[in-house]
Amino acid sequence: MTENPNMYADMYAIHSIPTANMNSDDNGMQKKVSVGGALRTRVSSQAWKKAIRDRFDERAFRTKKAVALLVRKMMDIDNGITEAEASEKAVKLLAEEVSLTKDLTTKALIMLSPSQIDNAARYALSCDSKKYSKKDVREILKKDNSLDLALFGRMVADDPALNVDAAVQFAHAFSTHRIEPEYDYFTALDDLQNKDEQGASHLDHTEYNASTFYRYANVNVNELIHNLNRNKEAGIAGTVEFIRNFVLAMPKGMQNRHANKTLPSYLMVSLRTDTPVNLAVAFEKPVIISNNEYGYTDKSIERLENEFNSTLKMVDNPAATFVLNLESDDTKVKGAVTAENLNDLLQRVSETLTKAVQDEDNND
C-alpha cells in the first residue's frame, strides 16, 4: 500500500436508462434493493466493473488456466521447446507461488497481466527449472500490473504477498426513485409447425423496468500510481481512462433485447485529499414527481448537488470539482467548474492531478 498522501477522485453520475434488465439474479429477475423503505432497481458493482474492464485495450487474464497461458507464451518465444517441456517448466514455476490441481489448473482464479505472463515465460526459459527462486517468481508476479489489475486489485490466498490492494471503490448503482417491477410475457412459434397445430413452442416471461440511477465510484490516485510501478504519469492517465469508461461503459445483460445503451445526463468529478464521500444519502428518500410532472433526472441532479454542498459542513473543500450536465449549463455545486464536454472535463482532471503530483514532489 502506498504511503504517499491521499488523492481521491470521486465520480458521481445520474443516468436514466429505458426498459432494461442489465443485471439479473439467479431467477432472471432484475436485481433490487430496498433503500429508505422503498424498493429500487439495483445494478451490482461487479456488473459495471466488468463492463468497464472489457473496454480497456490491455487487461489481465482472470483465469485458472495460468499454466496453459505460460506454456503458450514460452512456445511463442522459443520455437524449439516442446509442449511437454514448457508444461514442466510452467508447473514448477507457478508451484512456487500458487496451488495447482491434478489437471494443472490453479485452485482459484488468479489475475495475471500480459507483461507478468511474458516476464514469467522468459524467466522460465532462462534457467533450469531446478533453480527457480521463489523470491524471483514472486517479484515477477508483483510488478508490471495491467491497468485493470491495478484498479480492481488481486487476492491470492496461497501467497498474500501477491495481493494487490484495489485502487477503486465501486458502489452498487440504484434507482433514485421507487420502482414497480414490470413483466414481459412472450411466446415463440415454430415456423414449420403444421397448420392444424395450435399453441406456442416456447413460453416465458422476464422482468424489466425503466429507472434513473445514482452511480458512484472513487479512485485512490496515489494507490493506483503505487500499483503501476510508482509511475505517476501512468497513474494519472489510468485515472482519466477509468473516469471515461465509468461514463461510457454499460453492463450488457439483455442489451440485444432492450437496446438500452444510454449515456449519463450528469457527471461530477471531485478531487479530494481527505476522504472519499458517497452521496447516496441524497436518495434515502425516493425522488417523487407530483401530478402533471414527468421525469426523475432533473430532481435527482438537484438532490445530488444539494447533498454535495451539505457535506462541506463535515469534510474539507475538495481540491477541485468538475461538472458536466447535459440538462443545463448551470450548477449549484459550490466551487465547481462546468465542463463543455467529456474531453474537456477529463483534460481538467488530468491537469489538476498532474499539478498535485508535482506539488508533492516539490514538498518532498
> What is the tens place of the pLDDT at every residue in 174-191?
999 999 888 887 778 888
> Mean pLDDT for the chain?
93
pLDDT of 364: 57
- Indicate whether 224 and 89 sit together in one domain: no
Model confidence at 349: pLDDT above 70: yes
In sequence order, what E strands does 277-332 have? 320-325
**Residue 104 belongs to a domain:** yes
Q: 123 Cβ partners below 8 Å, 6+ apart?
A: 93, 132, 136, 137, 140
Tell whether 357 is covered by a domain: yes
- Over range 329-351, report the average pLDDT: 97
Residue 217 lies in a domain: yes
In a domain, residue 259? The reply is yes
Same domain, 48 and 92: no
Angle at the Cα of 320 (from 315 to 324), degrees rounded to 5? 115
Determine the pLDDT at residue 191.
87
Residue 1 lies in a domain: no
pLDDT at 306: 98
Q: Are residues 34 and 113 in the same domain?
A: no
SS3 25: coil
Question: Is the pLDDT score of 223 beyond 90?
Answer: yes
Model pLDDT for residues 90-107, shown as the tens digit of each residue: 999 999 999 999 999 999
Q: What is the mean pLDDT of residues 52-58?
A: 94
**111-144 pLDDT, tens per residue?**
999 999 999 999 999 988 788 999 999 999 999 9
3-class state of residue 153 by DSSP = coil
| 137 and 25 within one domain | no
CA dihedral 154, 157, 158, 159 (to 10 degrees): 60
**pLDDT interval class at 2 (50, 70, 90):** low
Confidence of residue 89 (pLDDT cuts 50, 70, 90): very high
Provide mean pLDDT across the span 317-326: 97
Both 284 and 228 in one domain: the answer is: yes
Residue 3 has pLDDT above 60, yes or no: no
Same domain (yes/no): 269, 353 = yes
User: How many domains does one find in the chain?
Assistant: 2
Same domain, 109 and 44: no
Q: What is the mean pLDDT of residues 193-219?
A: 87
Residues 32 and 175 both lie in one domain = yes
Q: Which domain holds residue 107?
A: 61-144
Same domain, 96 and 132: yes
At 5 the pLDDT is 66
pLDDT of residue 226: 96
Q: Which three cell numbers stand for residue 18?
A: 429505458
178 and 313 part of one domain:
yes
Phi, psi of 64 (to 5 degrees): -95, -5
pLDDT band at 363 (very low <50, low <70, confident <90, very high): low
Q: What is the pLDDT of residue 249?
A: 96
Kindly tell me if the per-residue pLDDT of 337 is higher than 90.
yes
How confident is the model at residue 280, as a pLDDT? 98
Encode burial over 125-151: b for 16+ CB neighbours within 10 A, e otherwise. Answer: eeeeeeebeeeebeebbbebbbbbbbb
Q: Read off the pLDDT of residues 144-177 as tens digits, 9 standing for 90 and up.
A: 999 999 999 999 999 999 999 999 999 999 999 9
Same domain? 245 vs 319: yes
Residue 201, in any domain of the structure: no
Alpha helix (H) ranges present in 143-249? 147-152, 221-227, 232-248
Same domain, 263 and 178: yes
68-76: long-range pairs with CB below 8 Å, 24+:
68/104, 69/112, 69/117, 70/94, 70/117, 70/120, 70/121, 70/124, 73/117, 73/118, 73/120, 73/121, 74/121, 74/124, 74/125, 76/121
Q: Considering the domain boundaries, does residue 153 fall inside one?
A: no
How much of the chain, in percent, has pLDDT values that exceed 70? 97
Q: Using a pLDDT cut of 90, give the percent of the chain over it.
A: 78
Per-residue pLDDT tens over the stretch 259-302: 889 999 999 999 999 999 999 999 999 999 988 889 999 999 99
pLDDT over 90 at 85, yes or no: yes
Q: Band of the pLDDT at 304, cuts 50, 70, 90?
A: very high
- 257 versus 210: the higher-pLDDT residue is 210
